Amino acid sequence: DGGITQSPKYLFRKEGQNVTLSCEQNLNHDAMYWYRQDPGQGLRLIYYSQIVNDFQKGDIAEGYSVSREKKESFPLTVTSAQKNPTAFYLCASTRASVTGELFFGEGSRLTVL
Amino acid sequence: GENVEQHPSTLSVQEGDSAVIKCTYSDSASNYFPWYKQELGKGPQLIIDIRSNVGEKKDQRIAVTLNKTAKHFSLHITETQPEDSAVYFCAASMGDTGRRALTFGSGTRLQVQP
């Protein structure tokens, strides 16, 4: 089945550690996105990539980094510079040629201890 | 950049009643307005969308209306059922020009009482 796979589903981290969240899609979509979800704040855009080897900062990129070496993969690293990393992280993808449906993964919940 | 405001934050209705969720957006260049439904612990799923060249769109029990002049759009759910209980998000995008990424509202938790 085509879709987006995020892993891990739950992740615990100690303060000062970097962690990487995985996002893989087999939908042959060009564009991929990372959103952060906090209670009562909706979804906020962290980074997005319209094409391989290119990505742009979203609204809350500080303390995060990404790479896009393959079309299928868009991993997100939450660095120790992110002051409040505990959140639900959602990866999404869409065809870049038109604006249409975003397909979301099931999310990764990161908790900093 | 774009700012999307969504109201109410929570909504409780009786089964069979209608539910209405409203959103306003700030950037007149936005031209694509989707609505997503998120169930507990899952990623959001698209339920309906509308583009700026259309004023209303229906799909069975759900409908979306768009007022470009006032820069607001609404989701209408008729004959609500318990399985409609979820968090609903509106969003806006500039579509094929500028940044295509969606800007989301803060969400509405809908509870349908049996």
pLDDT digits (tens, 9 = 90+) for A8-24: 999 999 988 999 999 99
Residue, of B87 and A96, whose pLDDT is higher? B87
Tokens of A110: 């990161």
Name the range with the highest mean pLDDT among A31-40, A79-88, B15-24.
B15-24
Window A:44-63, CB contacts with B under 8 Å: 44-45, 48, 50, 56, 58-59
Summarize the confidence of residues B66-77 as an average pLDDT: 96
| DSSP-derived pairing of the beta strands A64-66 and A54-57 | unpaired
d(CA A51, CA A66): 13
CB contacts of B6 in chain A (<8 Å) are 42
Beta strands in chain A (DSSP E): 4-7, 10-13, 19-25, 31-37, 43-51, 54-57, 64-66, 76-78, 87-94, 103-104, 108-112
Cis amide prior to A8 (ω within 30 degrees) = yes
Summarize the confidence of residues A39-43 as an average pLDDT: 83
Please compute Rg for chain A using Cα positions.
Answer: 13
CA angle, residues A108, B1, B4, in degrees to nearest 5: 65
Phi/psi for A59 (5° steps) reads: -80, -20
CB contact under 8 A, A104 and B43: yes
Q: Is the pLDDT of residue A2 over 80?
A: no
Q: Is the pLDDT of residue A97 over 70?
A: no
Q: Is the pLDDT of residue B92 over 70?
A: yes
Whose tokens are 């896009």? That residue is A68
Tokens of A99: 């604006």
pLDDT confidence bin for B5, thresholds 50/70/90: very high
pLDDT at B29: 87
pLDDT at B41: 85
- Cβ atoms of residues A27 and A4 within 8 Å: yes
pLDDT at B100: 67
Q: What share of chain A is helix, strand, coil (3-state, %, to 5)?
A: 0, 50, 50
Summarize the confidence of residues A45-58 as an average pLDDT: 92
Long-range pairs for B77-83: beta carbons < 8 A, 24 or more residues apart? B77/B18, B77/B19, B77/B20, B77/B110, B78/B18, B79/B16, B79/B18, B80/B13, B80/B14, B80/B15, B80/B16, B80/B17, B80/B18, B80/B19, B80/B110, B80/B112, B81/B15, B81/B112, B82/B15, B82/B112, B82/B114, B83/B112
Summarize the confidence of residues B4-9 as an average pLDDT: 96
CB contact under 8 A, A102 and B46: yes
Percent of chain A with pLDDT over 70: 96
pLDDT at A1: 65
pLDDT at A89: 97
Nearest CA in chain B to A42: B106
Q: Is the pLDDT of residue B58 over 60?
A: yes
A89 CA to centre of own chain: 6
pLDDT at A11: 94
